[in-house]
């Protein structure tokens, strides 16, 4: 039986992509803000409803770019219930992550706990719209204003999500998006930063090109994080189909919800009010179910179905941070991390396969 992976990259047809890249053989312009790059940036500005956007070779370097542009140092309040990238980006910038616990109902940062973590060293909040669930951005904004903190969202999971019509790309001071192959919208590898202060564009762009600010001047110790033309061409093609892909994901999610709702010991996240979802992940919490999360994972694996323990372990438990953080500070995150499993989800996952996965979980 063919293996069902947790995700499967969305791709345009071979013909559509080759047609899109054809003119690169005429221009011989392969990277450094070429014509495809410009076209994709414009397309995404429109799709995400924010003209202030700049593209990156991946999401992680986009986040590092945003952190560098705001010159963050000291302490940064963030969540341990995320992918490695969020925490690593803060640490690699030389700042200290301070972990805030999460809500049990949507797994985003518990805003009632933020203020008690603020010290005179705090410079920013880096929350995560985990699984595409939107953080309580209004309360985060209120706290940030009061304490003069920057807010950079890790919106890697939240491409295209809106709340009461407001695009996720218009929250906080900046947001990072990932266009990695496994995400709802991909450019093979890729990412973006959206931001509110339009004067940041030049800093962000300079920082991702070695800090070079003119033909003979280099003002920053920048890195290299530019998106190339082949990535941008993939993005142009995928952007044409992304709404259709999200609709297909929705059908998959609805089938999962239908099959797994109201099962004692299995809890699903409730849709957030006013939120237009992107159906990026389907997390399930096994809490006093007849089999635990690890047993379910193994059972699916014997049938060639790969589910993933996103996010286990917490980033605060990583070997590279051994002894540095205390998971007891984030008990809800710890609890969820030990019980959550994200089930396979991608646009072309058939409803028959969803049924088969549910049958295995439900022991039918
Ligand atoms: C994917 C992801 C990233 C990193 O993005 P890349 O494009 O893979 O570098 C960061 N944060 C979260 C939550 C992610 O899921």
Cα distance between residue 122 and residue 139, in whole Å: 17
> What mean pLDDT comes out for the span 185-200?
98
pLDDT at 1: 72
- Bridge partners of residue 276, in order along the sequence: 162
223 pLDDT higher than 90: yes
Residue nearest to atom 2 of ligand 1 (CA): 156
For ligand 1, is residue 82 a contact (CB within 6 Å)? yes
For ligand 1, is residue 277 a contact (CB within 6 Å)? no
> What mean pLDDT comes out for the span 307-311?
96
Closest CA to 63 of 160, 161, 165, 152: 152
Q: How confident is the model at residue 349 (pLDDT cuts 50, 70, 90)?
A: very high
The DSSP code sequence of 32-67 is SS-HHHHHHHHHHHHHTT-S-EEEESSHHHHHHHHH
Question: Which ligand 1 atom sits closest to the C-alpha of 179?
Answer: 7
Ligand 1 pocket mutation pick from 85, 87, 281 by most atoms within 8 angstroms of CB? 85
For ligand 1, is residue 12 a contact (CB within 6 Å)? no
Question: Which ligand 1 atom sits closest to the C-alpha of 82?
Answer: 13
- In order of start, what are the domains of the chain with their CATH numbers? 14-236 (3.40.640.10), 242-362 (3.90.1150.10)
Q: How confident is the model at residue 2 (pLDDT cuts 50, 70, 90)?
A: confident
Share in percent of the chain as helix, strand, coil (round to 5): 40, 15, 45
Cα 140 to averaged position of ligand 1 atoms, centre (Å): 22
364 pLDDT higher than 90: no
> What mean pLDDT comes out for the span 310-335?
97
For ligand 1, is residue 111 a contact (CB within 6 Å)? no
How many Cα atoms within 13 Å fall on the side-chain side of residue 122? 23
For ligand 1, is residue 87 a contact (CB within 6 Å)? no
Average pLDDT, the chain: 97
Ligand 1 pocket mutation pick from 156, 159, 189, 281 by most atoms within 8 angstroms of CB? 156
30 pLDDT higher than 80: yes
* 59-69 helix and 200-207 helix, angle to the nearest 10 degrees: 120
Cα 289 to averaged position of ligand 1 atoms, centre (Å): 30
Closest CA to 177 of 268, 282, 55, 285: 55
Look at residue 207 and give its three-state secondary structure.
helix
pLDDT at 335: 98
Q: How confident is the model at residue 8 (pLDDT cuts 50, 70, 90)?
A: very high
Cα 90 to averaged position of ligand 1 atoms, centre (Å): 13
- State pLDDT tens for residues 41-85: 999 999 999 999 999 999 999 999 999 999 999 999 999 999 999
Question: Which ligand 1 atom sits closest to the C-alpha of 182?
Answer: 1
Cα 83 to averaged position of ligand 1 atoms, centre (Å): 7
Cα 49 to averaged position of ligand 1 atoms, centre (Å): 21
Residue nearest to atom 5 of ligand 1 (CA): 59
Cα 256 to averaged position of ligand 1 atoms, centre (Å): 25
CB atoms within 10 A of CB 275: 18
Ligand 1 pocket mutation pick from 84, 126, 154, 181 by most atoms within 8 angstroms of CB? 154
Cα 84 to averaged position of ligand 1 atoms, centre (Å): 8
149 pLDDT higher than 80: yes
Residue nearest to atom 10 of ligand 1 (CA): 85
Alpha carbon distance, N-terminus to C-terminus of the chain: 19
Peptide bond preceding 18: is omega within 30 degrees of 0, i.e. cis?
Answer: no
Cα distance between residue 69 and residue 203, in whole Å: 6
- State pLDDT tens for residues 198-220: 999 999 999 999 999 999 999 99
């Amino acid at each position: 039986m063919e293996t069902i992976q947790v995700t499967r990259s969305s791709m345009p047809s071979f013909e559509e992509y080759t047609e899109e890249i054809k003119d690169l053989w005429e221009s011989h312009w392969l990277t450094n803000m070429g014509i495809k790059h410009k076209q994709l940036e414009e397309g995404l500005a429109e799709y995400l409803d924010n003209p202030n956007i700049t593209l990156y070779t991946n999401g992680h370097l986009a986040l590092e770019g945003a952190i560098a542009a705001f010159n963050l140092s000291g302490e940064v309040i963030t969540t341990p219930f995320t992918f490695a990238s969020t925490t690593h980006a803060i640490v690699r910038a030389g700042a200290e992550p301070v972990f805030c616990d999460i809500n049990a109902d949507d797994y985003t940062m518990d805003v009632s706990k933020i203020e008690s973590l603020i010290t005179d060293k705090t410079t920013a909040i880096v929350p995560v719209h985990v699984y595409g669930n939107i953080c309580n951005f209004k309360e985060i904004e209120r706290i940030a204003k009061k304490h003069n903190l920057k807010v950079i969202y890790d919106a890697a999971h939240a491409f295209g999500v809106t709340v009461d019509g407001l695009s996720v790309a218009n929250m906080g001071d900046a947001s990072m998006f990932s266009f990695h192959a496994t995400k709802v919208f991909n450019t093979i590898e890729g990412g973006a930063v959206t931001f509110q202060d339009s004067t940041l564009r030049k800093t962000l762009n300079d920082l991702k090109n070695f800090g070079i600010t003119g033909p003979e001047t280099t003002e920053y110790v920048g890195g290299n994080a530019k998106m190339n033309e082949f990535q941008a061409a993939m993005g142009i093609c995928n952007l044409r189909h992304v709404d259709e892909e999200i609709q297909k994901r929705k059908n998959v999610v609805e089938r999962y919800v239908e099959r797994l709702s109201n099962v004692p010991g299995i809890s699903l996240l409730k849709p957030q009010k006013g939120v237009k979802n992107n159906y990026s992940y389907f997390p399930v919490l096994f809490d006093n179910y007849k089999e635990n999360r690890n047993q379910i994972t193994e059972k699916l694996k014997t049938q060639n179905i790969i589910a993933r323990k996103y996010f286990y372990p917490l980033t605060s438990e990583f070997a590279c941070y051994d002894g540095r953080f205390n998971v007891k500070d984030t008990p809800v995150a710890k609890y969820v991390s030990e019980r959550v499993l994200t089930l396979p989800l991608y646009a072309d996952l058939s409803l028959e396969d969803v049924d088969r996965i549910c049958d295995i979980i439900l022991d039918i």
